[in-house]
C-alpha cells in the first residue's frame, strides 16, 4: 500500500529522536545551533539524505533484478555524494562515480563523507560535469535522487538525459529515479519536521506550481531554537514530472522494462510512510506518495536465472 507522505527522508532519525527523550538529549553543539553558526550542507544532509536506506534498496533490488551484486555505482546530481560514500563502505570491491556541476558540495563531501574512508580516491571518481556526460567505466546502476532530474524542463531535454544514461550503462544495467506524486504534491504548502531531537526544524516549501507549464518552485528553509531562520537555504526551479510521463520517456530512451515501486504505510500512523518500497504496477491514489522507478537495460527481470 502506498503511503500518504513525502517524508521518507530522515524518518528513522525522527523516530530515534522521539525514543531518546526529545530535546533534553541534545548535544551541546546542537543546543547552540543557529543561523550564524550553521553549515548549510550539514543541515541538508541531516534533514534530507538517508544513504543507508537508499543503499539497502539499490543493492537489494539490483541483486534481485540482475542476478549479480551491484559493484559499480554512478550517482548523478551527486552533491555531497553521501550515497556513494555509503556504497563504498559496504564492500571493498565497490566503486563509484559522482557527477555534479557545483564544486561546493563536492569539496564538502570529500572532506565530510570520504576523508575517513581509507583508499577512497582509488574507488571514487568525482566529475565536475553535466550528468549527460559518460562515466569512466560503464555503471551497473545509475541513480538520480531527490528529484534532481526535474531540472530538465522540456520533454526533449529529459529524453536526451535518459538516452545518455541508457547508452552509458552496462549491458544489464539499471537506472533508478525517485518519484513524488499525489494531489498534495501540487499544493502550495509548507511542511515542517524536527531534526535530531529538535536541534533544528527542516521546512519543505512547495512555493508555486503552474498547471499550464508544469513549472514547480520549491525551497528548503531551516529554523533554529533561538528563533533565527535560514530562509531559502536551497531553492529549486523544476518541472513537475508525473510517473506515466516518465515511464513513456524511459521506454522511448530504450529501456525494456520500467518498474514502479511505492512506499508502504507506517503501521502506527497512516499519514506516514514506513520507508519500505515495494513493486506495484498500479499504486494507490493517496494525498501524497513517494516512489521509485527502476528501469532495466538488457534482459527482462523474469529472464534472470534462465540464462
Of the candidate spans 84-92, 100-108, 203-211, 285-293, the one that interacts with ligand SAM by CB under 6 A turns out to be 100-108
By the 8 A CB rule, do 75 and 99 touch?
A: yes
- Do the Cβ atoms of 70 and 58 come closer than 8 Å? yes
Looking at the Cβ atoms of 286 and 291, the one nearer to ligand SAM is 291
Q: Which residue of 99, 204, 216, 292 would you call a contact of ligand SAM, by CB under 6 A?
A: 99
Q: 124-128 and 95-100 as β-strands: parallel, antiparallel, unpaired?
A: parallel
Q: Among residues 57, 77, 202, 277, which is the contact residue for ligand SAM, using CB under 6 A?
A: 77
* Three-class HEC string of 201-222: EEEEEEEEECCCCCEEEEEEEE
| Cα gap 181→56, rounded to integer Å | 23
Write down the least CB distance from residue 105 to ligand SAM, Å.
5
Which residues ranging from 201 to 260 are in contact with ligand SAM (CB under 6 A)?
none
> Which span (94-102, 109-117, 241-249, 251-259) binds ligand SAM, by CB under 6 A?
94-102
Going by the DSSP 8-state scheme, the letter that residue 185 receives in this structure is G
Q: Specify whether the CB–CB gap between 258 and 250 falls below 8 A.
A: yes
Q: Which is nearer to ligand SAM, 149 or 200 (CB)?
A: 149
Residue 107 CB, shortest distance to ligand SAM, in Å, is 12
Torsion of CA 55, 57, 63, 66, to 10 degrees: -110
Question: Which residue from 30, 86, 97, 100 is in contact with ligand SAM, where contact means CB under 6 A?
Answer: 100
Figure out which of the listed residues 17, 55, 70, 78 binds ligand SAM, where binding follows CB under 6 A. 78
Stretch that binds ligand SAM, among 101-109, 205-213, 246-254, 276-284 (CB under 6 A): 101-109
Q: Which of 50, 59, 145, 206 binds ligand SAM (CB under 6 A)?
A: 145
- Cβ contact 207:143 at 8 Å: no
269 CB-near residues (< 8 Å, 6+ apart)? none
Complex with ligand SAM: residue 102 or 270, whichever CB lies closer:
102
Give first-to-last CA distance, the chain, whole Å. 33
Q: Which residues bind ligand SAM (CB under 6 A)?
A: 48-49, 77-79, 99-102, 105, 130-131, 145-146, 148, 151
Amino acid at each position: 500500500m502506498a503511503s500518504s507522505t513525502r517524508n521518507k527522508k530522515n524518518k528513522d532519525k525522527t523516530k530515534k529522536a522521539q525514543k531518546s527523550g526529545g530535546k533534553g538529549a541534545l548535544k551541546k553543539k546542537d543546543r547552540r545551533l543557529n543561523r550564524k553558526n550553521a553549515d548549510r550542507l550539514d543541515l541538508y544532509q541531516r534533514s534530507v539524505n538517508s544513504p543507508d536506506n537508499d543503499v539497502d534498496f539499490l543493492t537489494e533490488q539490483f541483486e534481485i533484478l540482475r542476478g549479480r551484486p551491484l559493484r559499480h555505482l554512478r550517482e548523478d546530481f551527486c552533491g555531497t555524494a553521501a550515497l556513494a560514500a555509503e556504497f563504498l563502505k559496504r564492500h571493498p570491491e565497490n566503486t563509484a562515480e559522482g557527477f555534479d556541476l557545483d564544486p561546493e558540495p563536492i569539496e564538502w563531501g570529500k572532506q565530510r563523507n570520504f576523508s575517513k574512508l581509507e583508499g577512497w580516491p582509488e574507488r571514487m571518481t568525482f566529475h565536475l560535469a553535466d550528468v549527460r556526460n559518460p562515466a569512466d567505466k560503464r555503471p551497473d546502476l545509475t541513480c538520480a535522487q531527490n528529484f534532481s532530474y526535474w531540472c530538465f524542463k522540456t520533454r526533449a531535454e529529459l529524453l536526451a538525459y535518459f538516452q545518455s544514461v541508457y547508452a552509458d550503462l552496462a549491458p544489464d544495467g539499471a537506472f533508478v529515479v525517485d518519484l513524488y506524486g499525489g494531489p498534495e504534491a501540487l499544493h502550495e504548502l509548507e511542511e515542517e519536521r524536527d531534526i535530531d531531537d529538535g536541534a533544528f526544524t527542516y521546512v519543505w516549501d512547495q512555493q508555486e506550481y503552474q498547471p499550464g507549464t508544469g513549472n514547480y518552485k520549491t525551497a528548503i528553509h531551516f529554523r533554529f531554537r533561538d528563533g533565527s531562520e535560514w530562509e531559502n537555504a536551497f531553492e529549486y526551479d523544476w518541472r513537475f514530472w508525473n510517473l506515466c510521463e516518465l515511464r513513456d520517456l524511459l521506454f522511448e530512451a530504450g529501456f525494456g522494462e520500467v518498474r514502479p515501486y511505492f512506499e508502504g504505510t507506517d503501521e502506527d500512523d497512516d499519514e506516514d510512510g514506513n520507508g519500505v518500497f515495494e513493486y506495484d504496477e498500479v499504486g494507490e491514489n493517496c494525498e501524497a506518495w513517494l516512489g521509485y522507478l527502476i528501469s532495466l537495460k538488457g534482459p527482462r527481470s523474469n529472464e534472470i536465472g534462465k540464462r
